[in-house]
Chains A and B, each alone.
Chain A
Amino acid sequence: MATLNLVQAITLTLQQAMQADERVILLGEDVGLNGGVFRVTDGLQAQFGEHRVVDTPLAESGIIGTAIGLAINGMRPIPEIQFEGFLGPAYDQIVNHAARYRNRTRGAIPVPVTIRVPVGGGIHAPELHSDSPETIYAHSPGIKVVYPTTPSDAKGLLTAAIRDPDPVIFFEPKKVYRSFREEVSEDDYEIEIGKAKVVNEGSDLTIVTWGASLFECLGAMDNAPDDVDIELIDLRTIFPMDIDTIAESVEKTGRCIVVHEAPLTGGMGAEVSARIQERCFLHLEAPVQRVTGFDTIMPFYKLENEYLVDAKRIGSAIAETLAY
């Protein structure tokens, strides 16, 4: 066991994956000598060489498009897109090519690529460095969308993603990158993609969340009255979504709040909410509530904390839902 933050856990995972499988290569902007802008790939070029940790030209579509070609021809590429705000130019390659290849060739040409993307706000970054676009990719059949929060989950899920025979977009909440450390096993282990985690068991109310918002939920739970027993679920994978774990919880508690950073309209909170009313209608004691980002442009950092969900807003939702 080692005590690692999220960055270190991901670095360790990449290192172990590259040691175990020669087909694994890293590519992206500044991932080589510089170790990536968040230092996630720090030291890996020195260890594995320039041909396996590759500083590419500055072109996101080119990074994903060539990664698709690498995957078609037997490699296991792990491209990094520097910030989620720069996914735009690569959207076509991800959604129209990577996601569709297996299906449109009826299984003949799979595209095993793992796209790593730092995501979300809260680090006082410049514009287009703080968005939460997970829903866009969850709504694009053919790709899996993984969004871990903790270092140990990230290690198990990234290992699973790299070994997955299908394309995975792996979102890394940058606010959590260095916010805390935990024990992470150095052994080889996978966490199944598509399985949520019950972080805290409870009987009065279910909170479903993912990413950095998890810590705001924990804060709200600390502030809640002692006799309120809250079940907290970290979704961990956005698609395929683990609706069974959510439904099982809501059938028990009868109340649910979904918390995420991304905007409200059409966000994954809407999908969770719809699934709950389909599966748990007769168990519901209150409407499913959403505490999310707003349908606005993510503000520059002077106002980013006004946008981001916080323990106070979640606390209000808890009180409203319990009082309904």
Chain B
Amino acid sequence: MPKTTAYQAIIEHISILDENANFDSQLGDGVMTDEQALHLYEHMCTCRELDEVAFKLQRSGRMGTYPQNKGQEAAAVGVALALQKGKDWIVPSYRENAALFMHGLPMHYIFMYWMGDERGSQMPEGVNVTPLSVPIGTHMLHATGIAWAEKLRKSDGVAATFFGDGATSEGDFHEAMNFASTLKVGVVFIGQNNGWAISVPRSKQMNSETLCQKALAYGMPTVRVDGNDIYAVHYAAKDAVARARAGEGPTFIECVTYRLGDHTTADDARRYRDEQEVEAWRNRDPILRVRKYLTAKGSWDDARDEALKAKAKKIVAEVVDAAINVAPPETTDFFDDMYESLPEDLRRQRETMRTSSLGQDPSQVGLNAQAASVEGR
């Protein structure tokens, strides 16, 4: 018998607005209106300002460790624009703030979260966003489950989940992809391939040329896009969301991007990254090319840009105020949401957290007498 081909696949790459602001109108016309593009541009600028302010807050001791999103804003906004607020879900990692804000999360919640306050994850009613996920690659399963619930209820909500290239090495990533594809549920998987998992480059992370190949293994439609191009990301996201909503199952989108900052404020990327590489990616900044493009079209100018920057500074200053001035948490808050109702034993621990040895019955072991003798001295 002659050998035959058992399987063959092609992975498409989409780029619409390149780093020199060349626009492919054949692919790009109708992807979004100029008004939408302007809105995304403004939002990306505000989020960039928020990112820079977060960095300064950390350096001045007013915020804990913070992971800058800088450079990856296009993937976040390009996807979020395709989602319906209050209906669809976002299941994030931690480098897509811009998407969460578009989906209804108040901006100061993100600051509260990184300032060590769980109330930053206390999602307001109707905000279909799960909290940031610090463990890598374990949250995409929740997106699959959320989308599965939509299918069971015969509703057409979609779950979009973000993660990085390193996360695709985790077992849970593969289980989430396999479950979603096998159950045919409406998940959009967004792999933000920024080339680095802290200090480990893609070449040491996997021997796969693209992340998309991993989707092929699960029989899942996939596409690779310029992740710094809002048009390309949105083109793919719209398509994926439409498929999910129509009950046609999940899609995997690989967004090729770059984090312009360190992994977090606790990291120093100069230890492992070449400055020339970073510089090259600065020129591919997702924000710069939109400004060039919109300016060339006559939809934007320097004066408007100055006004936008001032507005962004004002918005972010208000966000900082809101996060810093939030009432301090009650000292017992970490007990109260352990369960819907507190078990008796935990109630005792809560009530005696500062006054008694845990669980002791003072009348049994004479703690009262000891306390009295200490006071008497």
A4 to chain B, nearest CB (A): 30
In the complex the two chains form, is A73's CB within 8 Å of B121's CB? Answer: no
Q: Which of A217-250 contact B (CB under 8 A)?
A: 240-241, 243-244
Per-position binary interface string of chain A over residues 144-165, scored 1 when its CB falls under 8 Å from any chain B CB and 0 otherwise: 1000000000000000000001
A310 in the interface, Cβ–Cβ < 8 Å?
no
Q: Which of B324-375 contact A (CB under 8 A)?
A: 333-334, 336-340, 343-346, 359-361, 364-365
Which A residues are CB-close (under 8 A) to B135?
92, 96
CA distance A73 to B148 in the complex (A): 9
B358 (CB) vs chain A CBs: closest residue: A278
In the complex the two chains form, is A66's CB within 8 Å of B148's CB? Answer: yes
A181 in the interface, Cβ–Cβ < 8 Å?
no
Which A residues are CB-close (under 8 A) to B45?
none
CA distance A61 to B147 in the complex (A): 17
Interchain CB contact (< 8 A) of B345 among A57, A104, A240: A240
In the complex the two chains form, is B333's CB within 8 Å of A106's CB? Answer: yes
With A66-B148, A70-B149, A106-B333 already in contact, the answer to whether A93 and B141 are too (CB < 8 A) is yes
In the complex the two chains form, is A194's CB within 8 Å of B130's CB? Answer: no
Which B residues are CB-close (under 8 A) to A69?
91, 141-149, 159
In the complex the two chains form, is A280's CB within 8 Å of B122's CB? Answer: no
Per-position binary interface string of chain A over residues 256-275, scored 1 when its CB falls under 8 Å from any chain B CB and 0 otherwise: 00000000000000000001
In the complex the two chains form, is A59's CB within 8 Å of B149's CB? Answer: no
Q: Which of B258-275 contact A (CB under 8 A)?
A: none
In the complex the two chains form, is A166's CB within 8 Å of B339's CB? Answer: yes
B124 (CB) vs chain A CBs: closest residue: A108
CA distance A146 to B338 in the complex (A): 17
In the complex the two chains form, is B364's CB within 8 Å of A57's CB? Answer: no
In the complex the two chains form, is B346's CB within 8 Å of A240's CB? Answer: yes
Among listed B176-184, B206-214, B227-235, interface-contacting one: B176-184
Interchain CB contact (< 8 A) of B121 among A51, A62, A106, A280: A106
In the complex the two chains form, is B145's CB within 8 Å of A105's CB? Answer: no
How many chain B residues touch A (Cβ–Cβ < 8 Å)?
Answer: 50
In the complex the two chains form, is A74's CB within 8 Å of B153's CB? Answer: yes
A322 in the interface, Cβ–Cβ < 8 Å?
no
CA distance A280 to B359 in the complex (A): 11
B170 to chain A, nearest CB (A): 10
In the complex the two chains form, is A65's CB within 8 Å of B123's CB? Answer: no
B142 (CB) vs chain A CBs: closest residue: A69
In the complex the two chains form, is B344's CB within 8 Å of A66's CB? Answer: no
In the complex the two chains form, is A57's CB within 8 Å of B339's CB? Answer: no
B159 (CB) vs chain A CBs: closest residue: A69
CA distance A114 to B169 in the complex (A): 29
The number of A-B residue pairs with CB atoms under 8 Å apart is 154
Which A residues are CB-close (under 8 A) to B143?
69
Q: Which of A84-106 contact B (CB under 8 A)?
A: 89, 92-93, 96-97, 102-106
With A61-B175, A240-B346, A244-B344 already in contact, the answer to whether A68 and B142 are too (CB < 8 A) is yes
CA distance A121 to B360 in the complex (A): 35
Interchain CB contact (< 8 A) of B130 among A75, A109, A278, A280: A109
In the complex the two chains form, is B364's CB within 8 Å of A74's CB? Answer: no
With A107-B337, A108-B121, A244-B344 already in contact, the answer to whether A61 and B172 are too (CB < 8 A) is yes
Counting chain B CB atoms within 10 Å of each CB, the highest count among A61, A97, A106, A278 belongs to A106
In the complex the two chains form, is B123's CB within 8 Å of A108's CB? Answer: yes
B149 (CB) vs chain A CBs: closest residue: A73
Counting chain B CB atoms within 10 Å of each CB, the highest count among A66, A68, A108, A281 belongs to A66
Given A108-B121, A241-B345: 13 more A-B contacts, CB < 8 Å: A66-B179, A69-B148, A71-B145, A72-B142, A97-B142, A103-B338, A108-B123, A141-B338, A142-B338, A194-B344, A240-B343, A243-B345, A279-B361
List 22 A-B residue pairs with CB atoms under 8 Å apart, sorted by A's residue number.
A25-B152, A54-B183, A57-B182, A59-B178, A61-B172, A62-B141, A62-B179, A65-B172, A66-B141, A69-B91, A69-B146, A70-B146, A70-B148, A74-B149, A75-B149, A97-B139, A108-B121, A108-B124, A109-B131, A141-B338, A166-B339, A281-B365
B residues whose Cβ falls under 8 Å from a Cβ of A: 89, 91, 118-119, 121-124, 130-131, 135, 138-139, 141-150, 152-153, 159, 171-172, 175-176, 178-179, 182-183, 333-334, 336-340, 343-346, 359-361, 364-365
Closest 8 CB pairs of A and B: A69-B145, A65-B141, A62-B175, A240-B343, A73-B149, A66-B145, A69-B142, A106-B122
